[in-house]
Amino acid sequence: MQSSNTAVDFIKECLCKINKKTQTEEDRLDVNDEKIGELSFDSWNLYQLDDTCTKVSNEYGIFRVIEKKNKKYISDELPNLVVMAGFSVNSFCGSSKVIMNNLEILEKKYKAIYIICYDEDKFKQIQNNAFINIDKRPLELKLKRDVDSRIIAYKEEIDMLEDLGSIVDKVIRCLGLTNVHLLGKSSGGGLAMNIVYRNPIYTRLYLAVPAHPTFCKSFEKIGDRLNKMKIIIGWNQNDELKLGEILSNQQMEYYDPILVDLKKKYAGFEYEQYRFQPGNKHEINPELLKLIAADI
């Protein structure tokens, strides 16, 4: 990987590097010492954060990033797509399969596609710790739908994703990327919402069955850049997973007023929400990818 000023800054700040890893055994990704089933990454590059990155390794484990460069449509004018699934290996696999099955659609638009893979064991521990205090809070508080109440009820989860967002932002900048479109699924959507405001390199935000609407509060931090920003959100009618005490397929109505208020403040801001029938449960919908590819 070519060095860049952003990479140098990142190494100085976090004391780590991203190293390309030689793939073996039919190019299968090794996560937590286990091969990911049938998922093959032939023709994908694999990078991982070096163990010397003390800050990341001790708290969040080892990050891995897989990269698919578009050989047909290489142009510096094309954007890059960075995909963040939920924090489990199963979520990573599910999202990766959808992306791989729709590469022809996405490669019409993107110079390269990146998918971030987390250390599941570390994340489980961190999430469990965050929810110890959340679980103790009254259900009545957690059931409230206004953002201010939810910020109190889910404080530890919000703090966790804000901290993680600062780290993943550095990972993306270390890759030397510019003109980045973020696609976040489930908890990865909450993560994407905590990354998009951090740097002008993020020019689009796409969300698939994202985390509960509390994280929409971070949109305000984008500021005037919202006048050039577009957000597309896709939901699945048959997705009955509960996130923050709200069924995923019922969250669209809670996102909408937040987006409407932002539109009032920033005239150039654009947003679209879609509910797919019946959908593919708690996963990135291929129809959403078509909308993303068509978004210029």
Give Rg (Cα) of the chain.
Answer: 18
3-state secondary structure of 210: coil
* pLDDT value of residue 2: 34
Q: Whole-angstrom distance between the N-terminal and C-terminal Cα of the chain?
A: 28
- Residue spans of alpha helices (H) in the chain: 5-14, 54-60, 89-101, 103-106, 120-136, 139-142, 147-153, 155-174, 187-193, 252-265, 286-294
Looking at residue 51, its pLDDT comes to: 46
Give me the torsion for CA of 120, 122, 125, 126, rounded to 10°: -110
Burial string for 110-138 (b: 16+ CB within 10 Å, else e) reads bbbbbbbbbbbebbeebeeebeeebeeee
- The pair phi, psi for residue 220, each rounded to 5°, is -60, -25
pLDDT for the residue 25: 45
pLDDT of residue 12: 36
Q: Within 13 Å, how many C-alpha atoms sit on residue 112's CB side?
A: 18
Listed by start position, the domains of the chain span 5-294
Q: Measure the CA angle with vertex 31, ends 88 and 63; round to 5°.
A: 75
- Give CA–CA dist 187/240, Å, rounded: 15
Of residues 265, 266, 258, 116, the one with CA closest to residue 187: 116
Q: Please give the pLDDT value at position 23.
A: 45
| Superfamily (CATH) of domain 5-294 | Alpha/Beta hydrolase fold, catalytic domain (3.40.50.1820)
What local confidence, expressed as pLDDT, does residue 178 receive?
85
Beta-strand pair 246-247/242-243 = antiparallel
- Residues 18, 1: contact at Cβ < 8 Å? yes
CA distances to 8, 61, 89 from 64, rounded to whole Å, are 19, 10, 12
Q: What is the pLDDT along the chain (296 residues), one digit of tens a residue?
A: 333 344 334 333 333 344 454 444 444 455 444 445 456 666 788 776 554 543 454 577 777 888 888 877 667 789 999 999 998 888 888 899 899 989 999 998 999 999 998 888 888 788 888 889 899 999 999 888 888 898 999 999 999 999 889 888 887 887 778 899 999 999 999 999 999 999 999 999 999 999 988 898 889 999 999 999 999 999 999 999 988 888 999 999 999 999 999 999 999 999 999 999 999 999 999 999 999 999 98
CA distances from 57 to 31, 49, 194 (A): 14, 8, 20
Residue in 227, 208, 184, 216 with CA at minimum distance from that of residue 288: 208
d(CA 140, CA 152): 12
